[in-house]
């Protein structure tokens, strides 16, 4: 659904087309854009988006499907919430459908779940960021890195012996740390 559905806008809403939900009629145009995204996600994204349209509420808004002309059903889900559900559930359409039902039945519980999903996504992003900043050996990729003085050697003696270097505990490779 990410910025690639018909007339999509960040402040838009998600609508369901009952006909396209069964036939996938909305996916022909969608597939052209989805293939430009992360190829690992394009198939999951297409299945997730089948029958759903992210539409801007700006004029000229119409409540009919641009692909088949069927009257659209307002899910009540905002575009941003749909992105949150998609990212949290890893494109699980059953969870998306359950959240649509929950939105219609209990808005307070729905809001609590969306906030929990957003917090979980942020926590995951922070953990990934921490993992990505862990220094790795440029030769073998190991994270078993020690930092210390270069030390003296027989050719150069004590010249440069006080310089700090990183040393891989796996392969022994040494390099200057980035500042």
Distance of alpha carbon 100 from the chain centroid: 20
pLDDT in tens, 17-51: 999 888 888 887 666 665 565 666 677 888 888 88
**What predicted TM-score, i.e. pTM, was given to this entire model?**
0.62
Q: Which of 114, 91, 96, 85 is nearest to 44 (CA)?
A: 91
What percentage of the chain has pLDDT greater than the value 70? 76
Give per-residue pLDDT as tens, 95-129: 999 999 999 999 999 999 999 999 999 999 888 87
Show contacts of 100-109: CB within 8 Å, 24+ apart: 100/16, 100/75, 100/76, 103/75, 103/76, 103/77, 104/76
pLDDT digit string, tens, across residues 123-149: 998 888 777 777 888 898 888 988 887
Q: Cα(145)–Cα(172) distance, rounded to whole angstroms?
A: 9
- pLDDT score, position 13: 87
């Amino acid at each position: 659904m990410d910025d690639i559905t018909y007339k999509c806008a960040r402040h838009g809403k998600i609508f369901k087309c009952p006909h396209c939900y069964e036939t996938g009629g909305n996916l022909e145009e969608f597939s052209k854009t989805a293939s430009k995204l992360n190829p690992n996600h394009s198939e999951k994204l297409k299945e997730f988006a089948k029958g759903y349209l992210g539409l801007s509420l700006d004029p000229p808004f119409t409540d009919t499907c641009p692909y088949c002309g069927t009257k659209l059903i307002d899910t009540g889900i905002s575009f941003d919430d749909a992105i949150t559900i998609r990212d949290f559930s890893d494109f699980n359409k059953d969870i998306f459908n359950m959240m649509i039902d929950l939105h219609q039945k209990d808005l307070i519980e729905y809001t609590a779940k969306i906030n929990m999903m957003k917090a979980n996504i942020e926590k995951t992003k922070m953990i990934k960021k921490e993992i990505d900043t862990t220094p790795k050996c440029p030769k073998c990729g190991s994270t078993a890195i020690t930092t210390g003085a270069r030390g003296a050697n027989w050719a150069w003696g004590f010249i440069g012996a006080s310089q700090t270097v990183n040393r891989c505990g796996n392969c022994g490779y040494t390099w200057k740390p980035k500042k």
